[in-house]
Structures are given as C-alpha cells and as structure tokens.
Amino acid sequence: MSSSQMVNVTFDDFDPIVSYADLSQWSTPNPQDNPTWYKANESETGLPWHQATLHYTTVKGAELSLDFSTTEITLYGALNVTSPTYTVTLDGNSVNLTPASVQGRGVIYGASNLAQSSHTLTLTNQGDGLGLDMIVLGYDLGSDLKNTTIDDGQSDIRYTGSWTSENGDFYNGTSIYTQGPNNSFEFDFEGSALYVYGDSVQDHGLFSIYFNGSSTPYGTWDSRTPCGGQSDYGKKCEKLGSIKAFIGNLPPGQHTCKLVNEGPDGTNATFFDFDYVEYSTPSTYPSFTINATCSNGFCSNSVSSGNSSSGSATPTSGASSVTSGSSASPSASSSSGASSGATTNAGVGNALLFGVMGMWILKKLGLSAL
C-alpha cells in the first residue's frame, strides 16, 4: 500500500493568493521587462528570488494577507536590514518576530501541524525593511499522483460568452482571454488537486471558481498584477506563468469546475487570461478532504477529520536558497509583452532598494558585468 504523497505548492509574491493592503507602500520589479525570467534560473537573472520577483517595503505598517486551507505554510523573503521586525497574525493570534539579518532569501515564518481548516495569515512590517518572495504550502494529496493537463484549446473546456484565442509562446502555443463579467468556462475532472494557470496584467480583475453546480464560490481572487506603486489599470506589468488558483484535498469522484470572470461592465470591464489547467489524481485519496461547494472548502467551523492542533510556528532566518516551484507543475512557456518602466518604486530608499533588487536594475541599464 502506497503512502500519501506530500506536495509543496509554491506561490510567487505576484500570484493572486496574496493580497496587499496598499500597493503604494510596496516596491516591485516589473515582470514585463524580462518576461521569460519567471522560468529562468539564478545564473541567468542574477537574482535569488523565486521567478525573479519580490515585493519589498520600508513602510512601517505595510501589510499583506492570504487565505489557505492546509496544515503547513512557509514564507520566504528579504530580511537584509540590520534588525528585521514584523508581526505575523495567524487566525487572530499575533506574534512579533525579530530574526537575524539575512542576505538573499531567508525564511520569514513557518508553521506546521495546523488544524485542517481555513486559515488567514497577515504579515505586517514593523521595522526598516521587509520583502516577500514566495509562499510554500504543504498538502497531503494522496498516493501515486498522476498529473493531467488540459490546454485552453482542448474540447474538454466549455466556454460561455465572448473569448478570444491567441497564439504565442504559451503552453502548447495558445492562450485565451475574455473581458467583462459573467464570461466563463467549465470542465470535468477527477483528482485531489487542481491548478489554474495564466498570466496577470494590470487590467485584470476579480474571478471566482465554483464546483459541482454550487451557487457559492469556493473562492474569489484578484488577478490584477500587484505591481508596486499607485494603482494604474491598463495593459501593463504583465506577469507570466502565474498560478491563478490552486485547490487541494478534493474528494474522490468527478468534479465540475466553473471559472467566472467578475468585475464591472462597460468601459471599465476587466480581463481574464487563461492558459491551461492541471489536476492530480491519486490512486488512494488522502484521509482528509474538503467540500469544494462551500467557501474555502468548509461548510461550517467544524473540522470533520485531520489534526485539530493550532499548530507550531517556526520563524527562522536560515538558508538563502530553497527548491521552488510546484512539484506537480509542468513547464510552461511565456508570451513576451512590450517593455515598460524598470522598477516600480514605492516608499523605498534608493540605496536600500538597490541592495535588494540591484542586479535587476543593473541588467536593465546594461551594466550587469560590473
């Protein structure tokens, strides 16, 4: 009998799972300047950051949050100031952390053995500087996982409303997009985990995912690219290869997933870009599964199975490099967008910003050999 397979799913700081309270308080590189760097290694980019991106702030009180539904979480980022200081609030319980300074990528926070329930984590800067690079969530998805990809152009995907296909350097050479509310697509699958991939742009907006005919969305996310600085909606700051959504611990049986573009109508209607989905099917499902017809997979505050521990936090300032990327994800290609500004700078001193994202700026200026 095969044992369950733990899968680490890695989310970039640009992925919709992260919500920034005030983007004007954060600085980021512009992924559109180097559109293929999301799949490049550090030797090519000269940057230690996952997918070559980072959200960095020196503003005290700058805050980000995310919701997740699993038992393990680790946050990685930049802790390069003399005395990093920040607060992590998990499900209403706060802890103030002051780890040692780290050059390159360090562990901001870790927690394991959490309850099998929906969790909310908030990270608040209290010191001179803090950066978020990526989040790793650990899932028990069952044993002997088999991954299946459905591309946007396959007949398995059923579209409703107006959608426009485009060719390019995408997965299987195609992608598809829509503008306006209530345009949707759906598909059927059997598996314990589902990944939705596509690119994000600043003219994107809210979208929701529903399962099995439910009128309650499992979740609603914002796929607008979270570039730092003031909000500026338009065809700008395109980020390729994003995990638009991930749902884990689905139960056995066939599921129908429906994704709906939300947002306003008319001239302010927002876009949604879709590349492909992937799902993981185990030979044996995990002992704990969710009900995806309810918000975040939980229909009440009760926990049906799994460990009910409140968990243990493990804030450290350790290794500057880790294995990144979803262990269940196929490689995806990219579509190059028009070049735009070098680095979006919001509330970060020039010297400190250069220390964190210096190689990006050097490459932009053609000075990387210095």
Q: What is the pLDDT of residues 97-137, one digit of tens each?
A: 999 998 889 999 999 999 999 999 999 999 999 999 999 99
Question: Domain range for residue 105?
Answer: 6-140+307-365
Whether residue 13 is predicted with pLDDT greater than 80 in this model: the reply is: yes
Lowest-confidence region among 159-168, 235-244, 294-303, 360-369: 360-369
pLDDT number for residue 358: 54
> Encoding tokens for residue 306?
């799994």
Check pLDDT > 70 for residue 1. no
Q: Report the share of the chain in percent with pLDDT over 90.
A: 72
Domain presence at residue 1? no
334 is a domain residue: yes
- Whether 117 is covered by a domain: the verdict is yes
CATH number at residue 235: 2.60.120.260
Total number of domains in the chain: 2
| pLDDT at position 53 | 95
Of the three residues 237, 266, 297, the one that is the final residue of a domain is 297
Average pLDDT, the chain: 84
Flag whether pLDDT at 303 surpasses 70: no
- Write out the two tokens for 230: 């003031």
Instruction: pLDDT band for 357, please (50, 70, 90 cuts).
Output: low
Handedness of CA 111, 112, 113, 114 (dihedral sign): positive
Compute the distance between CA of residue 346 and CA of residue 210 in angstroms, rounded to an integer: 36
For residue 72, the model assigns a pLDDT of 97
**42 and 101 belong to one structural domain:** yes
Residue 262 lies in a domain: yes
Sequence letter at residue 2: S
111 or 335, which is more confident: 111
- Do residues 165 and 287 both lie within one domain? yes
195 and 278, same domain (yes or no): yes
Q: Does residue 11 form part of some domain?
A: yes
Let me know whether 158 and 206 are in one domain.
yes
The model's confidence at residue 324, banded by pLDDT at 50, 70 and 90, is very low
Residue at which a domain ends, from 297, 324, 352? 297
Asked whether the predicted pLDDT for residue 319 surpasses 70, the reply is no
Residue 164 belongs to some domain of the structure: yes
The reply to whether 91 falls in a domain is yes
- Tell me how far apart the alpha carbons of residues 88 and 131 are, in angstroms, rounded to a whole number: 14
Of the residues 273, 297, 321, which one is the last residue of a structural domain?
Answer: 297
